Structure 1
Amino acid sequence: MTIELLGLHHVTAMTDDASRNYKFFTDVLGMRLVKKTVNQDDIQTYHTFFADDEGNAGTDMTFFDFPGQPQGIRGTNSISRTSFRVPNDEAIEVYKKRFEEFDVEHGEIETLFGHKVLTFEEEDGQRFQLISDENNEGVSAGIPWQNGPVDTKHAIYGLGPIEITVTYFDEFKEALTEIYGMTVIKDESEVALLEMGEGGNGAQVILRKDDTSRPAMQGYGEVHHVSFRVKDHDAIVKWHEKYKTHRMGNSGIVDRFYFEALYTRIGHILIELSTDGPGFMTDEPYETLGESLALPPFLEPKREEIEAQVRPFDTTRSDK
């Protein structure tokens, strides 16, 4: 069986305020909160998932809200920017006006590898960009949030290329091609574009070289890890075997209830592989996704303890 990577699965970053972050992603960006849960390895910490209308793999940006964490420090050897796909160039213009309306820090519309892009930041300094799917081919996007504040003809509907910046540019590029089977489609002295699976905006990595900046430090406003998609349990088992063959330290397969996960590091960069399913509608109905604190079965007996520790914030939308 093939165990090729299918594309981007999710990106997980850190915020200093889960409530503000929720409002930014839903009210400004128009992404749907499909799961409000806790970090399964640190149950005092919220883990929120923003995605498309149904929480499909390849569409979700997730956040940890670690109590008391310091602000991250930008630098090299980090996941430096996350992209979100929009349907066309017109959508980039729509969001630019939206960012001006909501006073969101943003750049000017530019072209990157043949696609219109618009960089922007959240209040905590987290770096993002929109990328247009006009003339894009490859991995399909998700479904725009049907009841969101942005017109579905223009709304964000998936993850775009993830940007990684490292000092060890050639070595990292070799790992992405030799271990993960990615193909280099653009290669310059200090930047390369690689893709996996069917390719396109939903299956790409932008690799940048920076051997002059100081190393980044983890904290809020920085990315924690990136996850790539694998089909199912059999595929992630094969990847675990591959890691062992290459003598790569790894987490072993972890059942996250919503998907299975496998973690390793390539230098400073934490890479997760995640299965496409079971998905986010296993324990909540479509109509009220993300409105209550959802816990996987093994944490349900600790619900009272968990609810006493996390700061409550209202994510109810179905009655509005």
Structure 2
Amino acid sequence: MATQSRLNRQTPSLLELLQLRLLPEGSASALRYLALLMILVLAAISLFPLYWALITSFKHPSEVATIPPSFVLTRPVLKNYIDLMTGSGVANSPVLRWFWNSVFTGAAFTLGVVFLASLAGYSFARKQFPGRDKLFWLIISTMLVPAWSTLIASYVLTLKLGMHDTYWALLLPGLASPFALFLFRQFAVTLPDELFQAARIDGAHELQLWWLITLPLSRPVLATLAIFTFTYHWNDFLWPLLVLNKPQIYTMPVGVSIIMFQLKGTGPAYGIGMSAAILMSVLPIVAFILMQKQMIQGITIGSLKG
């Protein structure tokens, strides 16, 4: 075992080989170019569906299902977006209302999750009480339970409480997020104890410690939680489909699926579906661009501080 440990310490990694130039100059350059090529290929594979959705959304419905397909947009039109917004050919489809429903419920759900996770995470990180660690890991262990296994119970509970066809059915289930609690708690334990001790000496109580010290220093993890939570709720389809029956309260994923079902998979359905996908992608992409620095810090800072 000791010999193996010494061998592991003495064996340089590929990165060290490249940095120390133990490999021939040509081989090191070839490996770097190969790594760059692999990254470009993976990026192209990841971005192609978005590119295809974008050009399809600007195609005329008669061009959407042509064989062979065209990968270059030659005559961009706005017909798909106009049909999506006006519900052309589809009855009772208030798309702008669906968009507002998704924005409102997504923002409210995100605020609720971040608020509860920050309070609970601060308590588990900074407060001492009997059974703290056991309770924390008990809560975290619920992440092992598949979400679909509690779907029927959640449906029956919201039905009994009269929350179907209301915003409450979209907001209350899922507010207590074990993942959000775990992420915030892991960040909070890295904050310096000296700050909290000095604040307590000055007479600060726990809510002040949470509000004035913990939250301002936790902007990276708060941004990470906000983006993850909002994106999850924004893309959620199954749960809103189960608890919502009124078209006026549909979210975008449910509403667009109803439109495509009524159009029966025709050419207009693909164009409208792609335009809806682009419309739904804009807000999460903009949020990520604006908060990507804080998000990356929130994910990595715990490991960097140990």
For normalisation by structure 1, the TM-score amounts to 0.21
Between the two structures, name the one with larger relative contact order (CA 8 Å, sep ≥ 6).
2
Instruction: Flag the structure with larger Rg.
Output: 2
Higher helix proportion, which one? 2
For normalisation by structure 2, the TM-score amounts to 0.22
Higher strand proportion, which one? 1
